[in-house]
Structure 1
Amino acid sequence: MTKRNVIIGFLGTQLDSGDGPGRWEKWRPTVSLGMHEDFIAHRIELLLDERRYAKLLKRVVDDLAQVAPETQVRVHDTRLDDPWDFESVYACVHDFCENYPFDVDHEEYFLHITTGTHVVQICLFLVAESRRFPGRLLQASPPRKQTAGDPGSFNLIDLDLSKYDRIAQRFAREQQEDRAFLKSGIATRNPAFNRLIEEIEVVAIRSNAPILLMGPTGAGKSQLARRVFELKKLKHQLPGGFVEVNCATLRGDGAMSALFGHVKGAYTGAGSDRAGLLRSAHRGLLFLDEIGELGPDEQAMLLRALEDKRFLPVGGDRETESDFQLIAGTNRDLGQRVAEGRFRDDLYARLNLWTFQLPGLAQRREDLEPNLDYELDRHARAQNQRVMFNREARDAYLRFATSPEASWHGNFRDLGASVMRMATFATAGRIQREAVDDEIARLRRLWRPSGEGADALVALLGEAAADVDRFDAVQLRDVVAVCRRSRSLSEAGRELFAASRAKRTSTNDADRLRKYLARFGLDFDRVSRG
């Protein structure tokens, strides 16, 4: 069964106008819809303000009846006080589509986008693109030379981009390029991290809400925030600049002034006005690293600035405006700090809309090799000299770097510093095995636990630490810590087995501890020396 064609559009108060016999010499888009031999308009739904355009409406309806008696015209009285006001026009179009009894099984629908203001045409496009309107766009065009009876031409536009392979491929390619841009061009292999970047790319492009980046120090929060800014800059979404501050460096009275500015004479030493970081970030991006270190007063002011885009400079009585996007970074558990009363729950709720947990380098060991290449490239750009590993040296370094022994406490800061050291000592632009061995020894010393560190087992057992079950590892670390602060095997045994001693008739805590350590190939002297 052939479906009926239904066209929905606004009456053109200018293009559809005309009176007297001369009107037939003029191309009128709505009237032309009924004049095409190869396209029958079974029904036209006309939207207009009948109060103002009743006479024009009658003329158009009568002329349509004359040229296309089979076309039914239905009128919808649309009260638009300002057809250039985007909010009211979109609400009108949206409500019409929501309430219209579409019958897609029996009717084909078209939105006529030739008539109406530019705002009207944009809103028609948006409801079609969002799939609130189950049909296609119809664009009518006048003939090259207007003559009586010439309906011109029309073009049907289907916004289902999945049908257009080249467009779909282009969008997919641009999306991949954006994600590679956020990763600084590093071909990361960790699936969880790659999914994280995909989510951040979507949020960065589509949202201006605050973003919270959580993760350990050196995990790349600052670099990622800057890449988000540069991506939005490329998309012409942020005309302003990038402003970065580590909140841990803001202390005392200077914290409020640094963030929110001050007026001249606000306090001793305030010899002139100061804009402050929030004002400097107007229409740009503000990155507040270690936001968990902000004091309660700064948190309250920041919350108001986020919600109202306004705040008072220190010592001022006139508010300052600043419309910025915020990215916050922290290596703290802000939820825990809220529970402890050290961070405002309302500010945390405001920041927690888009929260992303960046993994440390130790959780992304498969990404060490591509990041190693990135650090070598970065060193080459900075020093204008290319340095490479020889094969044996590269393999040795990667074996260590990806092993459980490498804790990467400082994450990418440790990796960058490590590469810089090896590149500095490279001979004739080549990093040799000897330089790698020296660097591995240096990193072992750097990561050597001071006593109760999480990697005490690695220092004692080496690669065998990876074979210890996690339950046993928790207990063994505590035993090692007690041994290191005890003067003798007996003293350590008494502390470790104090709770169970009273329940036994005979005790030999030292022997019990000796046997426990022996299970892991350890003895008290070795453990206590560290």
Structure 2
Amino acid sequence: MAKPIVVIGFLGTQLDAGLGTGRWEKWRPTVALGQHDDRVITRLELLVTPHPKHAALAQRVKDDLATVSHDTQVNLVELPIHDPWDFGEVYGALYDWARSYAFDTAREQYWAHITTGTHVAQICLFLLAESRHLPGVLAQTSPPKRWGAGDAGQITLIDLDLSRYDAIAQRFSAAQQDAVSYLKSGIATRNARFNALIDEIERVAVHSTAPILLVGPTGAGKSFLARRMVEVKKARNQVSGPFVEVNCATLHGDGAMSTLFGHKKGAFTGAAADRAGLLKSAHEGVLFLDEIGELGLDEQAMLLKAVEEKRFYPLGSDREVESSFQLIAGTHRDLRREVAAGRFREDLFARINLWTYDLPGLAERREDIEPNIDHLLALHARAHRVVRFHPEARRDYLRFAQSDAAPWCGNFRDLSASITRLATLAEGGRISQELVAAEVARLRWLWQRDTPADAPQADGLALVEQLLGAEKSAALDLFDRLQLAAVLPVCAASRTLSDAGRQLFAASREQRKAVNDADRLRKYLMKFGLGWEQIRRAL
């Protein structure tokens, strides 16, 4: 049995009007709702604006509906709308009414009648139905071709629940998949964590204008991803301004203030003319502040005001300027530790920490190395010539690249440079085993300089004394003290306990059936009363 029908609609001050018996000779959409024998309206919530003439017309419509449909209950609902063409006022009144209305979808079905009312009112009804604040369908009524033959016209129902429409849902799904693929440059990445992260970033890029924080090691692709996010937003017509990018590590002193916020002529020595600044240049666009953790505390304070209030003072000016932009920030630092150390403002961190994404380095996505190699070779083919690996050479390169012997300290920059060298040197467009062997040796040499364990021993001994105290450190055997001095710098340079364990046990782990590098390192540190979090807080 069909649920009772409840209609919600505005009084049509023009379409529903009419005096005397002549009013029955015209089609009145609200009255016509009650003239459909096959669709009996149980209740009509007739929305009326506060005007004496409108109140009288609403009462007449209510009486006429009682004449044509005895079973229809009509409730006259006065909404506090004084300007029916003011979108904010109309939407706010409708929203408040809908929030307070006792909808019972289990027992009733709801129609939002969009034939009457101003265009603004119709749009607001549409938006409330689309967002499910008004849990029903849209009802569009139209007059009969010939009035007077007892024909009440037509009622067309429009359900905005897109999940009911497979074809539309597939179109949206395809668009979403295209955007995700674009964010990944079309690379068929295999790492589950990274793929889930990109899926969420796509949704946030499309639906949010709040600040976004990208965290990850140098070369993990923060700036590249930021640029791609902006292109996705532009494709959806969600941003009209430019993409403005700056590496905050290059900003110092008055130059930092001037570059970001602009300056007035004469604000400091060398300020020969006014300068707009990057925040102003990013108006209606996106500002990407890479390495935001390198900003000074004064710049952080001004940036917080600019993000929250969309206005700021240029250097040397007593007049604020306005700029509305979305902020994307990048950093390789753990800003939580920077806040604790007093080097980063807690209020700014709270403001930019709504959407934070920790991009894994290449060493944490070893299964993605192979598809990235194919992508880099395809880029080389478009720019220069087609180059392919000899099968055995590809096997050798992947065996090394995906092993713990390859820390990929520079992440994708290292991989891109490596493939560029191989492709450039490949005779006849074929990368041989000899080339791969030479490239592996080059990479080992490159990373040997960056290996934390090769840091001066004195630094490690200082860490031992810092963590254990001078008395406990002196009580250790020299053997234990030197060994711990080699281990702690590795921990200092590693993002996770597992990452540190993989580097420290790279050789012996290959001989074990069950590998748990993190547990081995945790037990070793516990011998000295040390825990991972304690080490990370101190370093």
Q: TM-score, normalised by structure 2?
A: 0.83
Partners of 2:244 and 2:109 in 1: how far apart?
52
Aligned to 2:416: 416
Q: Which amino acid aligns with 1:201?
A: E
Counterpart in the other structure of 1:344: 345
Alignment CA distance shift 1:437-1:352 (3 Å): same
Partner of 1:484: none
- Rounded to whole Å, the distance in 1 between the matches of 2:227 and 2:12 is 48
Structure 1 residue 471: Cα displacement:
6.0
The change in CA–CA distance for 1:409 and 1:19 in structure 2 (over 3 A counts) is: same
* Counterpart position of 1:306: 307
Matched, 1:172 2:173: yes
Distance 2:344 2:91 in 1: 41
Q: Which moved more, 1:438-447 or 1:311-320?
A: 311-320
Assess, with a 3 A threshold, how the Cα gap between structure 1 residues 91 and 475 changes in structure 2: closer, same or farther.
closer
Residue of structure 2 equivalent to 1:265:
266
SS at 2:315 equivalent: coil
Q: Secondary structure at the match of 2:187?
A: coil
Query: Which stretch of the first structure deviates more once superposed, 457-466 or 149-158?
Result: 457-466
Q: Which residue of 2 aligns with 1:491?
A: none
CA distance in 2: counterparts of 1:458 and 1:121, whole angstroms = 62
2:247 equivalent to 1:238: no
2:441 matches 1:438: no
Number of the residue aligned with 2:402: 402
Alpha-carbon distance change, 472 to 50 in structure 1, aligned in 2, over 3 angstroms: closer
Matched residue, 1:56? 57
Per the alignment, residue 526 of structure 1 pairs with none
* Matched residue, 1:208: 209
Identify which range, 406-415 or 155-164, moves more after superposition.
155-164
2:428 corresponds to: 428
Which residue of 2 is the match for residue 372 of structure 1?
Answer: 373
Aligned residues: 477
- Identical residues among aligned pairs (%): 61
- Equivalence for 1:328: 329
Deviation, 1:123, is: 2.0
1: CA distance between counterparts of 2:42 and 2:203? Answer: 42
Decide whether the 8 Å contact of 2:50 with 2:82 is kept in 1. Answer: no
Q: How far does the alpha carbon of each residue in 1:139-194 deviate from its partner, in whole angstroms, 9 at most, with x for none?
A: 11223455564322111122222222212222222222221111111111101111
Structure 1: stretches of 5+ with no match in the other structure: 478-495, 497-530
Q: CA deviation at 1:111?
A: 1.3
Q: 1:292 to 1:104 in 2, by over 3 A?
A: closer
Deviates more, 1:18-27 or 1:233-242: 18-27
Greater mean alpha carbon deviation, residues 91-100 or residues 188-197: 91-100
Distance 1:272 1:95, change over 3 A: same
Aligned counterparts of 2:26 and 2:324: Cα–Cα separation in 1: 49
Structure 2 partner of 1:150: 151
**Match of residue 17 from structure 2:** 17
Aligned amino acid, residue 321 of structure 2: T
User: Is the 1:24–1:149 contact (alpha carbons within 8 Å) kept by the matching residues of 2?
Assistant: no
Distance change >3 Å, CA 184–CA 2, structure 1 → 2: closer
Report the residue type matching 2:411 in the other structure: N
CA distance in 2, matches of 1:431, 1:333: 40
Secondary structure at the counterpart of residue 194 of structure 1: helix
Q: Partner of 2:41: helix, strand, or coil?
A: coil
Listed as ranges, the matches of 1:39-188 within 5 Å are 39-52=39-52, 53-147=54-148, 149-188=150-189
Unaligned runs of 5+ in 2: 456-488, 491-498, 529-539
Between the aligned partners of 1:254 and 1:125, the Cα distance in structure 2 is 50
Q: Give 1:467 shift.
A: 4.9
| Structure 1 stretch displaced more, 341-350 or 20-29 | 20-29
Report the CA distance between 1:253 and its aligned residue. 1.3
Q: Tell me whether 322-331 or 157-166 shows the greater mean CA deviation.
A: 157-166
Assess, with a 3 A threshold, how the Cα gap between structure 1 residues 466 and 280 changes in structure 2: closer, same or farther. Answer: farther
Q: Deviations over 1:339-374 (max 9, x none)?
A: 111111100110111111011100000000111111
Output one character per residue of 1:406-432: Cα deviation in whole Å (capped at 9) or x when no partner.
100000010011011111101122222
**What letter is aligned with 2:49?**
D
1:350-408 superposed Cα distances (whole Å, 9 cap, x missing partner): 01111110111000000001111111122233x33222212111111111100110100
SS of the residue 1:12 aligns to: coil
Shift of 1:133: 2.5
Could you list the per-position Cα deviations for residues 61-118 of structure 1 after superposition, in whole angstroms to 9, with x for gaps in the alignment? Answer: 2322333233221111212112222333223222322332334444322111111122
1:34 deviation in Å?
1.2
Query: Cα 1:395–1:147, aligned 2, differ >3 Å: closer, same or farther?
Result: farther
CA contact (8 A) 1:24 1:148 kept: no
RMSD: 2.4
SS of alignment partner, residue 279 of structure 1: helix
CA contact (8 A) 1:143 1:152 kept: yes
- 1:199 counterpart residue number: 200
Query: In structure 2, how many angstroms separate the alpha carbons of the residues matched to 1:459 and 1:340?
Result: 28
Distance 1:105 1:425, change over 3 A: closer
Label 1:462 to 1:194 Cα distance change in 2 as closer, same or farther (>3 A): closer
Please give the TM-score of this superposition, normalised by the length of structure 1.
Answer: 0.85
2:454 paired residue number: 451
User: Is the partner of 1:424 in helix, strand or coil?
Assistant: helix
Q: CA-to-partner distance for each residue in 1:16-73, whole Å, 9 max, x for gaps?
A: 2223444334322111111223211222110102433122213322322333233221
SS in 2 for 1:337: helix
1:2-23 alpha-carbon deviations (Å, 9 max, x no partner)? 5322211110112222234443
Contact 2:50–2:81 (Cα < 8 Å) also in 1 = no
The answer to which of 9-18 and 67-76 deviates more is 67-76
1:277 — aligned with what? 278
Distance in 2 separating the partners of 1:148 and 1:100: 38
- Any idea what the Cα deviations from partners look like across 1:189-247, whole Å, max 9, x if unmatched? 10111111111111111110000000110011011101110000101000011111000
Q: In 2, distance between residues paired with 1:3 and 1:471?
A: 61
